Amino acid sequence: MSHFLFAAPRSVTVCAYFLLTVCLLPLPACSGDDAPTSTLPPEDSTHTIDSGIVYLAPVTLCTIDDKRLAEISGIAPSRLRDGLYWLHNDSGGEARLFAVDTNGITLATCELLGTANRDWEDLASVTLNGTAWLYVGDIGDNDKKYATVSVSRIREPQVQANWRDSTITAAAETAVFRYPDGAHDCEALMVDPRDGGILLLEKNGTSCGVYAAAWPGAGGEAALQRIAAFRLPFEFSLWRLVTGADMHPGSRRIAVRTYTAVLEYLAPAGSTPAALFDSTAVQNISTPGLTQAEAVCYSRDGRDILTTSEGVNPPLLIIRRSD
């Protein structure tokens, strides 16, 4: 379950965030590629700093028409079918994924066998050696009390376009990961499409640590290494909390989700994941209208960025490239 900087019931948390957003969020604008100089959230961006990629302002692709998806914390594109996305709820939910199309319709739910949802916080999809995988991170730890976290993965099931709320199952492979410096709260999981390496981004209002480890295999345990740390370019610490992330299929870019914005980082070709955090974000795109945004991903082809939030029937926003 996700909290802000204080321990409060979810209803209080969401209300506080909503009031902050309504009172302080400016109307969408087409500017603002530098870090804010005030405590206002970033403005919408329709141009880049130096990446050469131009994104348009976010628009609603669809409304997610499934009231069971009221606490969405992770989203990832299908690697088998265009226009299909996998989503999940966070802590307290069942160990299942939802396959949703671009009309917001649930085509199937997939129960993960052999694992549980202690505090699922993010989802990633990659194709490795010809096999499409879905990875779900049981990595949340609001109170920083768990010595280890876990990541489960399944081979992505085939979902047919004409299905409606079908039920399927998949056997999960689960691995355990241990931090080198004590417990951390984390809501962002990425998987490197080059080698299947696991990356976790800390949820921290000051400096966000980046932890990495190779996948140790089903039932294995791996020691995470702190490979980088970065500070998001906002003055108010609430807006510097990382709630989700995704690595581009080409591995040179990542999208980082905060409660108010999506930031994109770029690294030179062939560089290590740590290089993604060596410079400032090349995109800074605010996403007004989302209640408690915790999910972000690239589209299957890597062209666009999609994001959504907690809440009943939330919008699924798409941030399209202009070219």
Give the CATH number of the domain where residue 62 resides. 2.115.10
Burial of 67 by CB count in 10 Å (0-12 exposed, 13-18 middle, 19+ buried)?
exposed
- Structure tokens, 190: 């990425």
Are 156 and 78 in contact by the 8 Å Cβ rule? The answer is yes
Burial of 142 by CB count in 10 Å (0-12 exposed, 13-18 middle, 19+ buried)?
middle
At residue 51, the pLDDT reads 66
61 in a structural domain: yes
At residue 184, the pLDDT reads 96
76 in a structural domain: yes
Chain segment 251-278, per-residue pLDDT in tens: 999 999 999 999 999 988 888 888 988 8
279 vs 205, residue with greater confidence: 205
Per-residue pLDDT band at 2 (split at 50, 70, 90)? low
Per-residue pLDDT band at 239 (split at 50, 70, 90)? confident
289 vs 158, residue with greater confidence: 158
5 in a structural domain: no
32 in a structural domain: yes
The residue segments making up the domain with residue 217 are 10-319
pLDDT at 38 over 60: no
Chain segment 58-104, per-residue pLDDT in tens: 999 999 999 999 999 999 999 999 999 999 999 877 999 999 999 99
4 in a structural domain: no
1 in a structural domain: no
306 vs 20, residue with greater confidence: 306
15 vs 31, residue with greater confidence: 15
2 in a structural domain: no
230 in a structural domain: yes
Q: What is the pTM of this model?
A: 0.86
What total of structural domains would you count in the chain?
A: 1
pLDDT at 220 over 60: yes
At residue 151, the pLDDT reads 98
